């Protein structure tokens, strides 16, 4: 995944914090840096599986 653009620390897909928002078909996953908790991006939940 690369480095966090905010704190410049290494962030991997295994380390990244996720938070689910919304319900049903509008559900999205929010990705957050595990170090500084900045939001790195969003993804539709279906793309994760």
Tokens 């914090």 sit at which residue?
A: 17
Report in angstroms how near the CB of residue 37 gets to Zn ion at its nearest: 7
Q: Roughly how many angstroms between the first and final C-alpha of the chain, as a whole number?
A: 17
Taking CB under 5 A as the rule, does residue 36 contact Zn ion? yes
Binding mask 4-33 for Zn ion (x = CB under 5 A): x-xx-------------------------x
Alpha-carbon distance of 47 to 32, in angstroms, equals: 17
- State the DSSP code for 22: S
Q: Where on the chain is the footprint of Zn ion (CB under 5 A)?
A: 4, 6-7, 33, 35-36, 38
């Amino acid at each position: 995944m690369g480095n966090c653009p905010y704190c410049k620390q290494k962030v991997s897909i295994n380390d990244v914090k996720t938070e689910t928002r919304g319900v049903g078909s509008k559900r999205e996953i929010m990705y957050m840096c595990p170090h500084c908790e900045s939001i790195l991006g969003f993804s539709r939940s279906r793309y994760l599986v």
